Amino acid sequence: MEVGLCDDLATRGYVAVAPDTFGGRCTTWIPRALALAYPHALKPGATWGVEAVHSAVEWVKQQPGVDPSRVAVAGFCYGGGSALRYAAAYPGSAAAVGVFYGRPLQEGTAAAYAALAAGGIPVFGAFGGRDQQFPPAVVDAFESELASAGVAFDIRRYPNQGHAFIGDVAATRDAGSDAADAWGAFVEFLEQRL
């Protein structure tokens, strides 16, 4: 999925990279995916692959034709949480953040977003209203905390969608679909912020 979406961004003139935060391990089987993600995302002290994202960002910034002040980080589910945590851990390293149905910062307070506010790092988010992992109350709190911290944000909600409603790049090309709307809004966010 991420590679296809990176390719889509590349056709729009962006340099896009999907970092490997699982050390070469992958799967399309949901139970295995959860097992891979647990130590990186849910286990106490989990790092969310922040260092892998940092390495990828530093590499991208050194590529020809890349303006290092115009690098955004984004991800889906675990990757969205990773992008958000990276931007908070390395203030000023990213110019914008995209979170597609990813976990907000676990600290759960406006203070947790202070680094984003201080760095002027805007946040884009897309969440499904039927998402069992991040139900509307979680998204409400996320928006409230971003606002309280003074972070510029654009959170899109899709009431009829569950978790992971963007399955691949083909879904983003289905005219009139929520996936196409969310992806289009994200691309517009990048155009405005970078």
- Domains by residue range for the chain, with CATH: 2-193 (3.40.50.1820)
* Share above pLDDT 90 across residues of the chain, in percent, rounded to a whole number: 69
- Quote the pLDDT of residue 36: 72
Contacts of 131 (CB under 8 A, 6+ apart): 101, 161, 162, 163
Please tell me the predicted confidence (pLDDT) of residue 180.
Answer: 96
pLDDT score at 58: 97
pLDDT in tens, 3-53: 889 999 999 999 999 887 777 777 676 677 767 776 666 666 677 889 999
Helix (H) or strand (E) segment spanning residue 23: none
Helix and strand counts by DSSP (H, E) for the chain? 7, 4
Collapsing DSSP to helix, strand or coil, 6 comes out as helix
